[in-house]
Chains A and B, each alone.
Chain A
Amino acid sequence: MNEVAAPTQHAALAARVSEACSQAGLVGEPHAEALAALEAIDYPTTRQERWRYTRVARFLEVAPSAPADLTAPPAVVGNLEALRFTFVAGQYINGDVLDEGADGCFAGPVSLALERYPERLKGWSKSDFSTREWFAALQASAPQDGVCILVPEGKSLPRPVLAHHHMPDGVHVSQPRDLIHIGNNAAAEAILWSDNAAQSAGMLNAAITASVGDGASLSLEIVQDEPGSVHHMGHHHFTQGSNSKLTLRTATACAHWLRNDLHIVQDGTHADSTFHGCYLPNGRQFVDHHTRIDHAHPDGQSNELYKGLAADKSTAVFNGKIMVHKDAQRIEAYQSNSNLLLGEQASMYSKPELEIYADDVRCSHGCTTGQFDKEALFYLRSRGMTETAAHNLLVQAFLAEVLNGFRPEIRDHVHAVFSRRLGWN
């Protein structure tokens, strides 16, 4: 447990990361508050409650180099019609920029949005993670390019946006920021996809900041399909207005080491948030989903469902917090986390939390960790299935509740990745 890093070590890491990102090209100015926070915040250790199960000491060894190869990776889910944008190691490569002018929709790289509409992006790099978490502060201190989606009041995007972040072979650091702003009564759909080359390593320290206006809706699918040995730290921050609807689905299809910090703030009444996720670490992989929803206003609803399994010697972590603020009455908040533990040496850490300061609420959480249902297994085997086939079918059925919510192209892709990794079929 001796993970306390000497201050110089993480300061040195910050300097290396800053330099590597600057060489590759920063987007916008580093955030002054983030720079101050980077100095002030301690490097996470397992002694801190939020980092109890997440070891980040190894990050300190990351020594990145600027990527030489910036060729675009092959397109993902080619059969999906979308506005596509490709980023390699935090740099914009190509894409179908949509620009309807100063009053219209915009979809393109953040760098271009900053150039064309700086006034629309005022305060864009602000995320409350960046003043609270060391890695988020690091991201904001040297931000790189990501997708920017701006939908003004009453408009909607003609097609979904697919932003593809890729890490090439070699040891690199990438700190992209995706930015989504949906105006009042507007709507958008987007897919944020991250993948890696097989020989990639280093750190992907990515941030997503989104605001959904009053009466607006945002449907976002996040796919993390990352072979290689990149350490992925994600900071996903969402703010919702009154009567808004947020649907967020995260599929961690493959990850060497991954932590997602998701924070949703319902900043208006009658907001509705649905956030689902699935994960399936195997080998010695590590997947950590930290989620938090703040019901700050009355009459909100939230529905959280995270399902996953841990095979071999892998570790899965789920930490979900429902926070109901004072006077946020008539909240309905449901959280469910189910896990299957498949490996003899796999570990599952689950911490579903409720923090409630209002009395007229209906909140519940449920959490299970277990094995295959023996009766179900017996039933399938008595129908002539091998044990492996029966296991696989049950795993697929277990994950279907989450996976079926994705659009079919993505569901099929994630399913294929899981199949390949666990040897289904």
Chain B
Amino acid sequence: MSAAEENPLLDEFTRKEYEFGFTTDIDADKLPPGLNEGVIRLISSKKNEPEWMLQWRLDAFRVWQSMKEPDWAHVNYEKPDYQAISYYSAPKSKVPLGSLDEVDPELRATMDKLGISMEEQKRLSGVAVDFVMDSVSVATSFKDKLAELGIIFCSMSEAIQEHPELVRKHIGSVVPVKDNFFSALNSAVFTDGSFCYIPKGAKCPMELSTYFRINEAGTGQFERTLLIAEEGSYVSYLEGCTAPQRDENQLHAAVVELVAKDDAEIKYSTVQNWYPGDAEGKGGVFNFVTKRGICETRAKISWTQVETGSAVTWKYPSCILKGDGSIGEFYSVAVTNNAQQADTGTKMIHLGANTHSTIISKGISAGNSQNSYRGLVQIGPRARNARNFSQCDSLLMTDTSGAHTFPYIETKNPTAHVEHEATTSRIGEDQIFYCLQRGLTEEQAIGLIVNGYAKEVLNKLPMEFAVEARKLLTISLEGSVG
């Protein structure tokens, strides 16, 4: 008996079309496909960048040329042709924006479809949204309010122009150019992204948020995010993604760098819903992201992610716990469906004494997907009394999907305590039976169980985001999950 006959709900959910698959028609200023030094010089000059930035990009390009695309992850895909991608595309309708009314109506419509209408965001939730359409920042709000506190929140290209000393000091300090194949590529060709600077002692009063979208067909998007929290400051940053439906694979190779100085705290939350491809896995986004934060003394970085999209995910938000007493956290829900493949997890690198880290990872595999957790916990020789707790649970919804766990635990200090536990199971028939008895439909029952399963992570999301995340989870598992 096939899975479809066995469970019509699952089947329905598996065949569900991607809801956010639509395309906005805006003229884009776009380079022809291909990558060479000329393209990099062109990107740099289009963005009117200083010489040091160009040199940095060119150095990165040379490094990238000498590197090989990694193949150790538990994913299987046709490697993109890096010469067939256009490395720059910017919406042409670039007008100075004082208010939302000046934003291109087409863009506005896109935002509305995404359910992130800026007015609504502004009015209801007090979230400043830096909306990135393709690679250039289009609208930014609440800037003035933030400026009062000395907080800088702008696009990366703006930061390079206006705060070159900050960018120059920190860019590549957490994720070095040579770190990996995709970070080198990103360093060479990144077009835009977000920049955030929280001055000493400032507590950012609102959740900062950015929405990314890949728009132009065949355009790779290379975001660069840099977030610096000075001594004793606090910021919560939200990042959410949806991408329109495309038939050819789109590449997303972002780099996110977080710097948390002494006693600072950064909370970084992501909801990722790039287009996952159709039921056979055709199309869909390749999400090869390098995210890493560095914690100075008593600083704290917390990564929370809800991953529901992308055809292939390769993503390990990490913390370098450099300072004594620093804390790293990683909370993740990864849902894969159809032919999606995800290899995601974290790295907790304990260098300082009394450093703590917590990893909670929840994987849900449906359809024919493959969902892997890959995590490294490394305790350095000087990390006295370091403490780590990891929990990785996997839930299997079909017998054609796979759930895998690859933890790496490297301990070089005898005072460290490291614990790892992982379980893999499916939703128990007894659990569903119990819910059915209480008058729930099977769909509601599965929804209840899955939401309960992921609750530990969803609860870590900021209020504004938790609603959207639940919605996403619901949409992703619609038909089988309420």
Using a CB–CB distance below 8 Å, which chain A residues touch chain B?
49, 326-327, 329, 339, 341-371
Interface assignment of B420: CB less than 8 Å from any CB of chain A: yes
Chain A contacts of B74 at CB under 8 A? Answer: 355
**Distance between B9 CB and nearest chain A CB, rounded to angstroms:** 15
Choose among A349, A361, A371 the residue that contacts B424 (Cβ–Cβ < 8 A). A361
Cα A41 to Cα B124 with chains together (Å):
63
Residue of A nearest to B400 (CB): A326
9 nearest A-B residue pairs (beta carbon): A359-B396, A341-B414, A354-B405, A350-B409, A367-B420, A370-B417, A369-B418, A364-B423, A363-B424
Residue of B nearest to A368 (CB): B419
22 contacts between A and B (CB under 8 A): A326-B399, A327-B399, A349-B409, A350-B408, A350-B411, A350-B420, A351-B409, A354-B422, A354-B424, A355-B74, A356-B402, A356-B424, A359-B396, A359-B398, A361-B424, A363-B424, A364-B422, A367-B419, A368-B419, A369-B379, A369-B416, A371-B415
Of listed A49, A327, A342, A346, residue having the most chain B CB within 10 A? A346
Chain B contacts of A362 at CB under 8 A? Answer: 423-425
**Distance between A9 CB and nearest chain B CB, rounded to angstroms:** 24
Does A354 lie within 8 Å of B403, measured CB to CB?
Answer: yes
Chain B contacts of A346 at CB under 8 A? Answer: 412, 414
Interface assignment of B426: CB less than 8 Å from any CB of chain A: yes
Chain A contacts of B408 at CB under 8 A? Answer: 349-351
Cα A349 to Cα B415 with chains together (Å):
15
Does A343 lie within 8 Å of B414, measured CB to CB?
Answer: yes
Residue of A nearest to B387 (CB): A370
Residue of A nearest to B427 (CB): A359
Q: How many A-B residue pairs have CB under 8 A?
A: 122
**Distance between A228 CB and nearest chain B CB, rounded to angstroms:** 27
Cα A344 to Cα B415 with chains together (Å):
8
Chain A contacts of B401 at CB under 8 A? Answer: 357, 359
Residue of A nearest to B408 (CB): A351
Cα A228 to Cα B74 with chains together (Å):
40
Given A355-B405, A370-B419, A371-B417, 18 other A-B residues pairs in contact with their CB atoms under 8 A: A344-B414, A345-B381, A346-B412, A348-B410, A349-B409, A349-B411, A350-B408, A352-B420, A353-B405, A353-B406, A354-B424, A355-B402, A357-B401, A357-B402, A359-B399, A359-B401, A361-B424, A367-B418
Choose among A49, A326, A341 the residue that contacts B411 (Cβ–Cβ < 8 A). A341
For window 130-175 of B, CB contacts with A under 8 Å fall at none
Interface size on B, residues (CB 8 A): 36
Choose among B72, B399, B419, B421 the residue that contacts A360 (Cβ–Cβ < 8 A). B399
Residue of A nearest to B372 (CB): A355
Interface assignment of B224: CB less than 8 Å from any CB of chain A: no
Cα A338 to Cα B415 with chains together (Å):
15
Chain A contacts of B405 at CB under 8 A? Answer: 352-355, 365
**Distance between B340 CB and nearest chain A CB, rounded to angstroms:** 15
Chain B contacts of A361 at CB under 8 A? Answer: 396, 424-426
Chain B contacts of A343 at CB under 8 A? Answer: 414
Chain B contacts of A370 at CB under 8 A? Answer: 416-419
Does B422 lie within 8 Å of A347, measured CB to CB?
Answer: no
Given A339-B411, A348-B410, A350-B409, A366 contacting B420 (CB threshold 8 A): yes
Given A341-B416, A356-B402, A367 contacting B411 (CB threshold 8 A): no
